[in-house]
Chain A
Amino acid sequence: MALLSKKNELSVSLFPMFNILVSTLGVLIFIMCSITVLSFGKTKTVRIVQQKRDSLHKFPHHLVWDGNSLILLEKKDTVRFNIDLAKIKTFEQSHDSILKVIRGSETERFFQHVKAHADSEYIVILVRASGFGSFLDLRNFIKQEGIDIGYEPFENSSKIIL
């Protein structure tokens, strides 16, 4: 009479393994979705790498303009305008308005400092999209002060840090 073969292999149920697999995938997908939402959301950060001072290049100071406030990144000083420069008819009037707003502030002292060192320093304005409309008034003000200027556009939602 034939004998049945005896198998010594371990018998395992696959269900716990599938549970682990599905749970792991679920968690990872959740993490991915969260990160994707964050990356498209309001927390995108732009870090400005400060240039080192040398004798060959002018040293840039970074400010952020959003149409309503001018932020001096180095000293974290903010000047709020509460006026729409774009609605002012002439550059002379907007120049006077800007002077009036920054009077006595850290930003005014900063402008005076850069003006005194105009041969070795200049200003970079990081222009948020909300400040596009009034930026030409600000640029004209800075140029009239005898300060060299550079400018870069940035998204409204990006967080800019130095």
Chain B
Amino acid sequence: MYFKKKNNKSSSEVNLAPLIDVLTCTVGIMLFVVIFAVLAARGASIKYLTPLQKEPPANSEKRLFICKKGRIKPFSIKSALDSLLANSKATYKNIPTLIARANAKNIHDLFYTYSFSYDDYIEGDWFNYSRIRVVSITIHELDSLGGDNADQIQLNNSRFANFMSSIDSAHNWIAFALCDEESIEVFRTARNIVIKKGIPNGWDPSKIKFPLVIPLIGSDSPDDFGIPQ
């Protein structure tokens, strides 16, 4: 009896069309990614709007933001000073009491702690001397990595966005203290948000380091200590 020899190649009989589809799609996607990466690598288009330094608008309040270690956070001693003064006028007589009371409150916000000190000393020699009385505020960072990064501030419900929405562009201006290279990106992002809100702004390089001690200079008047409000 004669048997026809069976062909053994049945497993390799495959239609190549789907594989070519897969190849084409993959190559297409990869080419798109490559083109995008090339465009990104060739150079950043930095857009800045005539950065001519101008004086801040008259009668507007400065709002300072510190850009450090890739993060941005607000900086203000106003609330600490409010706690110090507590609706009373500071004089040479009552300032030690006010300071003791303020320090007992352990003043802090989300990013910093504040404490006050009072120095009363004589400077000069026996015949020519002056009495120096200075109140200083010392600010400690709660966390050096605190604050928002460039991605976080772009969220609609970010602290930065909420703050920008809460302030009046006619009576406030934003000052950025830029501390390092790492923070240039967050500074640019934040400034774009501020510009979109129509708020005047400016920046300066900063060498700010914590703990930061700011002397609050006394005035010539014997009663009024002249602490900035």
Q: What residues make up the interface of A, taking CB atoms closer than 8 Å to B?
A: 4, 7, 9-14, 17, 20-21, 24-25, 28-29, 31-32, 35-36, 38-39, 43-48, 51, 57-58, 60, 122, 124, 127, 129-133, 135-136, 148-156, 158
Contacts and interface: CB of A to CB of B under 8 A. Distances in A.
Interface of B: 4, 6-7, 9, 12-14, 16, 19, 22-23, 26-27, 30-31, 33-34, 37-38, 40-46, 48, 50-53, 178-181, 184, 187, 203-207
Given A28-B31, A28-B34, A36-B37, A155 B181 contact: yes
A126 B23 CA distance: 47
A56 B68 CA distance: 37
Contacts of A14: 12, 14, 16, 19
A39 B40 contact: yes
Interface centre among B27, B40, B52 (most CB of A within 10 A): B52
Contacts of B51: 124, 150-152
A15 to B, nearest CB: 10
A35 B37 contact: yes
A57 B51 CA distance: 12
Contacts of A129: 180-181, 184
A29 B37 CA distance: 12
B108 to A, nearest CB: 29
A136 B7 CA distance: 86
Contacts of B204: 136
Closest 3 CB pairs of A and B: A129-B181, A132-B205, A150-B51
Contact of A158 (B30, B40, B44, B207): B44
B4 to A, nearest CB: 6
Given A28-B31, A133-B205, A35 B52 contact: no
B44 A35 contact: no
Contacts of A158: 44
A156 B30 CA distance: 31
A153 B27 contact: no
B50 A60 contact: yes
Interface centre among A133, A151, A158 (most CB of B within 10 A): A151
B16 A35 contact: no
A53 to B, nearest CB: 13
Nearest to A142: B53
A66 to B, nearest CB: 12
Contacts of B45: 47
Nearest to B45: A47
Contacts of A124: 51-52
Given A39-B41, A46-B44, A32 B33 contact: yes
A150 B50 CA distance: 8
Given A9-B13, A153-B178, A158-B44, A25 B53 contact: no
A122 B52 contact: yes
A139 B98 CA distance: 40
Nearest to B19: A17
Interface centre among A44, A51, A57 (most CB of B within 10 A): A44
A4 B8 CA distance: 13
B121 to A, nearest CB: 24
B211 to A, nearest CB: 20
